[in-house]
């Protein structure tokens, strides 16, 4: 009787362990449906930002402008008109780098999700995989920091170049070309470096940002 009771106890323990392991696998962040929906979220933000900017017109009014129209021409309605007007006010036509950011994040998230799932199917989530190594964690953090820095360089360089060298008279931009960011930084930079010097510095910052954000070297071309 004691042996039978011990056997039943061990069987129950093994069953409980199996169910716990299965539950933990189902609840892991890799297998979570939320992880698969991240790239769709970025893709949606890309579509919203691009459509609202593409259909932007100063006649719609928005955050900084008033309009007598009963219905805006923006394809995303009043929300799209306000959202695009905010971006145009701060960044000018350089606001189109915002959809580029969301598109890049969507592609990166999709590739990451596919790569992790392929790795799990191949290695069956072995303990010795490289995904949990400290080296990869450091590389990921460094790469993320460089991409953020690169995107800031792109926005700053593009806005300043737009404010200094481009004109969009027909668009009727309230904050001017380059938006508020380009106008303010352009004024400070022109005082410090002069008109020609500011153009050279802005070009260097812009192309450095492209290299950092898209992770490529100009020497590869």
Give the pLDDT confidence score for residue 20 in this predicted structure. Answer: 47
pTM for the full predicted model: 0.76
Neighbours of 115 (CB within 10 A): 11
Kindly report, residue by residue over 150-180, the tens digit of the pLDDT.
999 999 999 999 999 887 665 666 667 888 9
Stretches in the chain below the pLDDT threshold 70? 1-35, 62-70, 123-138, 168-175
Give the pLDDT confidence score for residue 153 in this predicted structure. Answer: 98
Give the pLDDT confidence score for residue 11 in this predicted structure. Answer: 53
Give the pLDDT confidence score for residue 28 in this predicted structure. Answer: 47
- Name the residue ranges covered by the structural domains of the chain: 29-132, 136-221
Give the pLDDT confidence score for residue 10 in this predicted structure. Answer: 52
């Amino acid at each position: 009787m004691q042996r039978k009771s011990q056997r039943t106890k061990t069987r129950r323990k093994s069953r409980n362990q199996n169910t716990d392991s299965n539950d933990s696998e189902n609840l892991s962040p890799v297998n979570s449906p939320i992880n698969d929906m991240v790239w769709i979220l970025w893709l949606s933000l890309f579509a919203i930002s691009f459509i609202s900017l593409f259909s932007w017109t100063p006649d719609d009014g928005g955050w900084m402008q008033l309009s007598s129209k009963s219905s805006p021409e923006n394809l995303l309605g009043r929300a799209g008109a306000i959202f695009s007007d905010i971006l145009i006010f701060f960044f000018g036509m350089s606001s189109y780098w915002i959809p580029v950011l969301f598109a890049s994040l969507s592609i990166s998230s999709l590739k990451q999700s596919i790569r992790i799932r392929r790795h799990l199917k191949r290695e069956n989530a072995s303990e010795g995989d490289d995904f949990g190594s400290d080296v990869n964690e450091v590389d990921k953090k460094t790469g993320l920091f460089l991409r953020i820095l690169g995107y800031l360089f792109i926005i700053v360089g593009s806005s300043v170049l737009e404010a200094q060298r481009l004109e969009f008279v027909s668009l009727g931009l309230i904050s001017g070309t380059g938006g508020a960011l380009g106008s303010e930084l352009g004024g400070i930079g022109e005082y410090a470096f002069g008109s020609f010097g500011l153009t050279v510095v802005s070009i260097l910052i812009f192309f450095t940002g492209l290299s950092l954000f898209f992770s490529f070297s100009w020497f590869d071309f």
